[in-house]
Amino acid sequence: MERLKATEDLNLTEETMLKDYEIDKPILETERLIIRVLNENDVPDLKEWLGKDEIYTYWGRKASKSEKNPELMFIDPRPWVKRKPSPDFDWGIVLKESNKVVGMIAVFDIQNARMGDIAYRVNPKYWNMGITTEALKEVVRFIFENTEIDRLNGCVDVRNVASNKVMEKCGFIKEGTVRQGKMVSVYCDYNIYGMLREDYVDLQGINS
């Protein structure tokens, strides 16, 4: 599987644009992981963990009906409605060793092809194995080396020690803490993280 590559200096041209990925989402690869779009064949793996309560402790909400019943994720409730292509990326995280879907990672709410939000979750059975960090680093690489997005955002509950560490390990900068702000559907203290293209360039030692 060929790894998607960037231009040498990250000065992107019109040939590397978000619109190129609106329909055909890329497959990414790391040493241990395949990061790809999910499909109906992944339902048995998702059923093992996606509805578990502990995943949503700091998620800002409880598991939805489709997360508890992942087969619903692949049923279009309104098939007669023509869907517009989306610039968002929503991938499953597959462990090469077992070929099991052990997590999900997304870049969503992309605004004006300039910035987007990051979200991720992993099967609790695979926590503390560096899987989230490995997946996020690859997604960050893809975004800044293959699209025109200039900023990635992340919001993490201050009590979620592991997730805060993931953001920091991947080079995100803690920009502040919102006190008792609304995160999805709950009020809590949460940290705001950001990474700019220039931050990524600095991390890689690349001259933009």
pLDDT of amino acid 146: 95
Is residue 88 assigned to a domain?
yes
DSSP three-state, residue 160: coil
Is residue 119 assigned to a domain?
yes
Tally the domains of the chain. 1
pLDDT for residue 2 is more than 50: no
pTM for the whole structure: 0.90
Mean pLDDT, residues 39-51: 97
pLDDT for residue 80 is more than 90: no
Is residue 73 assigned to a domain?
yes
Give the CATH number for residue 70: 3.40.630.30
Is residue 200 assigned to a domain?
no
Q: Are 116 and 194 in contact (CB under 8 A)?
A: no
Is residue 126 assigned to a domain?
yes
d(CA 120, CA 122): 7
**Could you report the per-residue pLDDT of 132-184, keeping only the tens digit for each?**
999 999 999 999 999 999 999 999 999 999 999 999 999 999 999 999 999 99
Is residue 201 assigned to a domain?
no
Q: How many CA atoms lie within 13 A of 145 on its CB side?
A: 20
Averaged confidence pLDDT in the chain: 91
Is residue 86 assigned to a domain?
yes
Residue 96: Cβ within 10 Å count: 12
pLDDT of amino acid 206: 53
pLDDT of amino acid 10: 59
pLDDT of amino acid 64: 95
Give the structural domain span for 91.
18-150
**DSSP H/E element including 50:** none
Is residue 140 assigned to a domain?
yes
**Could you report the per-residue pLDDT of 180-201, keeping only the tens digit for each?**
999 999 999 999 999 999 999 9
